[in-house]
Amino acid sequence: MSHVTSLFLYISLGTVEVLAYPSLKAVDTLTAHTAGCYCIAIDPLGRYFAVGSADSLVSLWDISEMLCVRTFTKLEWPVRTISFNHTGEYIASASEDLFIDISNVETGRSVHQIPCRAAMNSVEWNPKFNLLAYAGDDKNKYQADEGVFRIFGFDSA
């Protein structure tokens, strides 16, 4: 029995290209955004994937239907990075805004914002706990040419 797995690619025209793996044959092209897509993440339960774009939106897509079910609108600058937490309950997104937004995936509501002093380049949840690592362009007081890496503990209770 053969098993086909999808591979998601994003391109700069606001679309997401869905390819079959390992053949890499085109399966679908989704019009996801009005501007370039910069990042993509798949939730750990395999229900959704999210796309961050230069239009400052994060779109949430149902994998089984290939339909956009929600957008996250808290950021005002191009979305640089997104990540789902280990349960798929929360999504973190960041940009040049001076905060990282953490939203509930099912409701779309922002549940927390982490203040930042500069643009963020990367957010990533721990695979087992609600710990979010993030790194950006802000400088530490000892090495003016290097960015800073931080970890935020998020209690969902």
Retrieve residue 97's tokens. 């805004």
Tell me the per-residue pLDDT of 39-87, one tens digit each, with 9 for 90 and over.
999 999 999 999 999 999 999 999 999 999 999 999 999 999 999 999 9
Please give the order of strands across the beta sheet that includes 26-31. 5-10, 15-21, 26-31
Cα gap 54→15, rounded to integer Å: 12
Averaged pLDDT score across all residues of the chain: 88
- Alpha-carbon torsion angle 54, 82, 57, 53, nearest 10: 20
Q: How many residues does the structure list for the chain?
A: 157
CATH architecture classification, 44-153: 7 Propeller (2.130)
Give the mean pLDDT of 116-120.
89
pLDDT average, residue stretch 1-12: 62
Share of the chain above pLDDT 90, in %: 63
* Residue showing tokens 């395999």: 46
Q: Is the pLDDT at 34 greater than 70, yes or no?
A: yes
pLDDT at 2: 42
Residue 39 has a CB neighbour count (10 Å cut-off) of 20
- Stated as kind and residue range, the H or E segment containing 133 is strand 131-136
Query: Which residue bears the tokens 């808290």?
Result: 74
| pLDDT single digits (tens) 88-114 | 999 999 999 999 999 999 999 999 999
pLDDT at 3: 46
Mean pLDDT for 10-24 is: 83
Domain ranges of the chain: 44-153
Least confident range of 3-12, 20-29, 64-73, 137-146 = 137-146
Compute the chain's Rg from CA coordinates.
Answer: 16
> DSSP label at 117?
S
Calculate mean pLDDT across residues 135-143: 71
